[in-house]
Structure 1
Amino acid sequence: MREIFAGMPWWVKWVVVPVVALFVFGGLIVGVLSVLVGLLFKALALVAAVAGLIYVVRKFTASTSARSGW
């Protein structure tokens, strides 16, 4: 592989090859990134839902235990 790039100018190695790679694999990269962002969003939504549920349960049990003391 080094022999192939040895005779090439610097701009081919550092500009054209990455642009071609992004063009060829761009859809794959965008697909993987969208899946990762979707999973991160779902994980954050799960954490928020569990935290909200814990808050509601604690609020409800605190109010019922205060009433049962009478």
Structure 2
Amino acid sequence: MREIFAGLPWWVKWVAVPIIALVVFGGLIASVVHFVIGLLFKALVFVALVGGLIYVVRRFMGSSASRSDW
């Protein structure tokens, strides 16, 4: 691979090739980033909902410790 880029100017290696890669694989990169961000958001919502549920259950269990209908 180094032999291919050996005689080329610096701007081909560091500007043109990455731009071509972004044009060719841009949709794939965007969809992967979108999937990862969506997955992280869903995980955050899941953690918040489970934490809220635990908080609510502990609050009601603590205030109604004398009740045995739970």
Structures share a fold, TM > 0.5?
A: yes
Give the structure 2 partner of residue 33 of structure 1. Answer: 33
- What is the 5 A alignment of 1:1-70? 1-65=1-65, 68=66
State the secondary structure of the residue aligned to 1:60.
helix
Gaps of 5+ in 2: none
TM-score (norm 1): 0.89
- The aligned length equals 67
What TM-score do you get using the length of structure 2 for normalisation? 0.89
Over 3 Å off, 4+ runs: none
Unaligned runs of 5+ in 1: none
Aligned-residue sequence identity (percent) comes to: 67
Q: Distance in 2 between matches of 1:55 and 1:2?
A: 59
Higher helix share: 1
Offset of 1:3 from its aligned partner?
A: 1.9
